[in-house]
Structure 1
Amino acid sequence: MNIEQGSLINSNSITFECETGNYHTFCPISCVAWLYQKIEDSFFLVIGTKTCGYFLQNALGVMIFAEPRYAMAELEEADISAHLNDYMELKRLCTLIKKDRNPSVIFWIGTCTTEIIKMDLEGIAPKLENELGVPIIVARANGLDYAFTQGEDTVLAALAQTFGKKSTTSDNGTKSENTPNLVIFGSVPNSVVYELGNELKTYGIEIKGWLPAKRYTEFPILNEKDFVCGVNPYLSRTATTLMRRRKCQLIGSPFPIGPDGTKAWIEKICSVFNKPTPGLNDREEKAWKNLESYLKLLRGKSVFFMGDNLLEISLARFFIKCGMSVYEIGIPYLDKRYQGGELALLEKTCKEMGTFLPVIVEKPDNYNQLNRIKDLHPDLVITGMAHANPLEARGINTKWSVEFTFSQIHGFTNAKNILELISKPLQRQTTFKELGWKNYHTLV
Structure 2
Amino acid sequence: MAAQLLPIFALLVSTTFLLIGNGLHGLLLPLRGTADAFTTTQLGLLGAGYAVGFVAGCILTPQIVRRVGHVRAFGAAASCASVVVLLNGMLVQPELWIALRVVSGFCMAASFMIIESWLNERASNASRGTIFGLYLTVNYVAVMGGQFLVAASDHRTMMPFMLGAIAFSLAVVPTSLSKAASPKPLEAVKIDLRRLHRVSPVAVVTVLLVGLVNGAFGTLAPVFGAQVGLSTTLIATMMGVAIVAGAVMQLPVGRFSDRLDRRTVIAAGSMGAAFSGLLILLVRPDAPWLLLALVGIYGALSYPLYGLAISHANDLAKGENFIGTSAAMLLLYGIGTIIGPVVASWAMSTISPFGLFAVTAGGHGAMALYTVYRTYRRPAALSDQPGSPIFLGTYNRLSRLLNRPTSRFGA
Q: Which has the higher helix share?
A: 2
TM-score normalised according to structure 1 size? 0.28
Q: TM-score, normalization: structure 2?
A: 0.29
Bigger fraction of residues in strand: 1
Identify the structure with bigger relative contact order (alpha carbons < 8 Å, sequence gap 6+): 2
Give 1 or 2 for the bigger CA radius of gyration.
Answer: 1
